Amino acid sequence: MGGCILSQKDDKKEALRQESTGKMRSRAEERSVANHIAYWIVGVIAVLAVVVAVIGFNYVNSSLQPYNANNKEDVVVKIPIGSSSKDIAKTLEKDKIIKSASVFNLYIKAQNYNDFQAGYYTFKQSMDMSSIVKQLQKGGSAEPNTSGTATNSVLVREGVTIDQIGDQIQKSTNFKKSDFLKLMKNESFLKGLQKKYPELLDSSMAKKNVRYHLEGYLFPATYSVYKGLTLKELVTQMVEKENEELQPYYSTIKEKGYTVQQVLTLASLVEREGVTNTDRKKIAGVFYNRIAINIPIQSDISVMYALNTHKTHLTNKDTAVKSPYNLYKNAGYGPGPFNTPSLQSIEATLNPSDRDQNYLYFVANLKTGKVYYSHTLDEHENKSSSLGQ
């Protein structure tokens, strides 16, 4: 009986030994499979790393080359004041001077370039990265250097409306009037300009029932149109010029308790109603006197703008037109400017004369241009009658 018991014990030990050996073999096999998988993954990653490195190297190397080595035409690029290196890189990429803003940033960081200047630059797509950087370090010009690049020019005259500026743009450039007028209603574009020129545009953007928020804000001047210039950039130049010209007057406008919108509105009426600086100041005084006692300005210019037409003589039906721009019916300044006033009219509006005379009316002799001023309606009507008007 004892021998039998030992045999059973040996069998159990053998079974346990075989079971343990099987588990060890299984674990070894698992480790072998895991190692094969790991080696395979590492191999794939290594291959991918090489591929990415090659692609990255080719991309960087390509981006450092000229945008188009065969294109020798000039492209004017504006770098605004306060632009960071990243902003400049984005501008150059947008204007197709460089291929990659990211590579440009890496290049200037590696070379430790950080002394770029604002202004207008004339680049070529055939320029390499080094030449572009050197030009940025030298600095740009205050105005576009259009020598050999200007294709045309746009003249914005004093007293013209947005609609008339659209006519001139279509006549003088490849831009369409319809696109220009659509841009005048582009909220994103207008808000971008407001953010850039808050002193100039805040009061306009705050007004409601405005036909065009940039009416009166496109400064009268001649603007060069050069290759690569966009319609937005052309309009921005006009607004920037307005802001530049009004800089000396912002403090005065604030001290007198006016808004830029109010000053430009009256100046736009003064522009069309008066010819000489003396009359412009007196007419501005008449407008302020009427506003002070809350009676409508009653300018024909406002009615014609409301009607969107020009007439030599207005009818009672015309002056009764329902429009916030009709200052025959509505007291105050109205929604905004009626045209683009000159700097002289703006100065006259800020420095009106004869306010103490309390003139409330004026009429001009259409033949001689002489303007007559009156205190009362009867006096005004008598003068108008004597002039045959």
Q: Return the CATH number at 109.
A: 3.30.1490.480
Mean pLDDT computed over 76-81: 83
Tell me: do 293 and 379 sit in the same domain: yes
Number of domains in the chain: 3
280, 270 in Cβ contact below 8 A?
A: yes
Q: Which residues contact 170 (CB under 8 A, 6 or more apart)?
A: 176, 177, 180
For residue 314, tell me if it sits in a domain: yes
* Tokens 């259409």, located at residue: 366
Helix and strand numbers, DSSP H then E, in the chain: 16, 6
In a domain, 185, yes or no: yes
> pLDDT tens digits for 49-62?
776 666 766 777 77
Do residues 364 and 276 share a domain? yes
Q: Which of 119-123, 242-246, 301-305 has the lowest mean pLDDT?
A: 119-123
What local confidence, expressed as pLDDT, does residue 389 receive? 65
Q: What is the pLDDT of residue 50?
A: 73
15 located within any domain = no
Asked whether residue 169 falls in the same domain as residue 234, the answer is yes
CB 287 within 8 Å of CB 266 = yes
Q: Are residues 227 and 273 in the same domain?
A: no
Q: Is residue 63 part of a domain?
A: no
Strand partners, 169: none
Domain final position from 180, 212, 247:
247
Q: Does position 1 have pLDDT exceeding 50, yes or no?
A: no
Summarize pLDDT for 89-117 with one digit per residue, the tens.
899 999 899 999 998 888 888 888 777 87
**Whole-number Å distance between alpha carbons of 271 and 251:** 22
| DSSP code, position 109 | H
- Per-residue pLDDT reduced to its tens digit, 329-346: 999 999 999 999 999 999
Same domain, 274 and 158: no
Q: Are residues 271 and 377 in the same domain?
A: yes
CB-neighbour burial class of residue 46 (10 A; exposed 0-12, middle 13-18, buried 19+): exposed
Q: Distance between CA 338 and CA 219 in Å, rounded?
A: 14
**21 lies in a domain?**
no
Q: Is residue 3 part of a domain?
A: no
- Residue 288 falls within a domain, yes or no? yes
Question: What pLDDT does 282 receive?
Answer: 94
Report the C-alpha gap between 165 and 218 in whole angstroms.
Answer: 9
Judge if 295 and 273 occupy the same domain.
yes
Residue that is last in its domain, among 215, 247, 279: 247
Same domain, 216 and 333: no
Q: How does pLDDT run across 227-286, given as a tens digit for each residue?
A: 778 999 999 999 999 999 999 999 999 999 999 999 999 999 999 998 899 999 999 999
pTM of this structure: 0.66
Considering the domain architecture, whether residues 288 and 324 belong to the same structural domain is answered as yes
- Answer yes or no: is 145 within a domain: no
Residues 295 and 360 placed together within one structural domain of the fold: yes
From 190, 215, 247, the end of a domain falls on 247
Residue 207 lies in domain:
151-247
